[in-house]
Amino acid sequence: MYVGVCRLVIHAEHSHSLKEKRAVIRRLKDRARTRLEVTMAEVAAQDTWQRIVLGFAIAGGDRRRIEDTISKVVALIEKAGDGRVIDVQREVIPFRADESLAEAIAPDEDQSWVPPEWLDTDDGSR
């Protein structure tokens, strides 16, 4: 499994109040959700009028698809015309979902607290 994370910094030069900024954010978030099924959040600079910092994350099994979706979201925001994207930070990292809890715990460590269904044994025994 892979997790893609992206942080966008946008300069909304036509925004002259927090109310106008919120309208821009709402339009950008709605476009991303409607067209690409990506939910975004304002993650910083909430009290500035013209600086918007949005973040989103995507999880999936195909690294290339996650990278493509992040690129599509960035392109959508850039083409929206509601502001100028001044910084993009993105990262796709592997998430070790294939490691069971039993493998994560050292063999000599007490496992009595672990529910049997969490352990990788055929009969549920430890």
The full set of domains in the chain, from first to last, is 2-94 (3.30.70.1120), 100-126 (no CATH)
> What pTM, to 2 d.p., does this model score?
0.71
SS3 5: strand
The length of the chain is 126
pLDDT at 105 over 70: no
Q: What are phi and psi of 85, to 5 degrees?
A: -75, 120
- Per-residue model confidence as pLDDT tens digits over 30-75: 999 999 999 999 999 888 999 999 999 999 999 999 999 999 999 9
* DSSP bridge pairs for 90: 6
